[in-house]
Amino acid sequence: MTFLRFVGSERTMQPGKIICLGRNYPEHAREMKAEVPAAPVIFLKPASALLEPGGIVRIPSFSNELHHEVEMVLLIGKQGKDISLELAMSYVDGYAVGLDMTLRDVQAEAKKKGLPWSVSKGFDTSAPLSPFVAAQAVADPHALDISLRVNGVIRQHSNTRNMLFRIETMLAYISSVFTLEPGDLVFTGTPEGVGPAQPGDVLTAELQNVGSLTVTIGRRD
């Protein structure tokens, strides 16, 4: 994916860095047998991980366990550092639905050895992303149904009201570490129900009032 796209508009934008929240839904932290964090847990994916709707998520040869994580995605519209809670929402330019595709076996090995998650989370095609809807068109981003189907069967279903950290808190925290810039993306964490996706599977992610995203699973040649 070279450019970010928008629903009902010819506008395009170059993607910047991708910041992802971990364990931002308490039920997902529990299913991973991980602590519910006291402060946001963040990691990065490279922009080269983005995948267009309709694309193929390609499992690298060194993994045998690809998991789906459906997430609401924020588009940052302006530069900001040390953003206050009060002004945080004004930095959100749009909303999309995305998938934080994860090589769970590679991640588990990295966790065990205390190594970074870059390979398990940032491999090519690990970040499928729908087009963005303008922020003004989404009345309350903290009250949206979010779901993921595998071959038509519902696997993840929650609501963004169940997020542990609200968008304001995420952006205040993230911008205390990284300067946010236009085109940066925030993957806001996944609800419970993560699980395997096999070659040939069709994944459909949906975010209420925002849209849907379908990808298929394959292997790298």
Contacts to Mg ion by CB under 5 A: 69, 100, 190
Q: With contact defined as beta carbons under 8 Å apart, do 83 and 43 qualify?
A: no
Give CA–CA dist 199/182, Å, rounded.
35
Identify which of residues 69 and 184 has a Cβ nearer to Mg ion in the complex.
69
Nearer to Mg ion, 59 or 163 (CB): 163
42 vs 59 by CB, closer to Mg ion: 42
- Give the shortest CB-34-to-Mg ion separation in angstroms: 12
Beta strands at 50-51 and 127-128: parallel, antiparallel or unpaired: parallel
Cβ–Cβ < 8 Å for 178, 17: yes
Nearest distance, CB of residue 187 and Mg ion, angstroms = 6
When the beta carbons of 42 and 138 are compared against Mg ion, the nearer one is 42
> How far, in Å, are 69, 90, 117 from residue 20 at the CA level?
11, 19, 11
**Shortest distance (Å) from residue 213 CB to Mg ion:** 15
Give me the least distance between CB of 24 and Mg ion, in Å please. 8
Task: Choose between 21 and 180: whose C-beta lies nearer to Mg ion.
Answer: 21
Pairing mode of beta strands 211-219, 56-59? parallel
Q: Is residue 88 a contact partner of residue 77, using CB atoms and an 8 Å limit?
A: no
Rounded to the nearest whole angstrom, what is the least distance from the CB of residue 164 to Mg ion in the complex?
Answer: 13
Which residue number has the CB closest to Mg ion?
100
Interatomic CA distance for residues 151 and 154, integer angstroms: 9
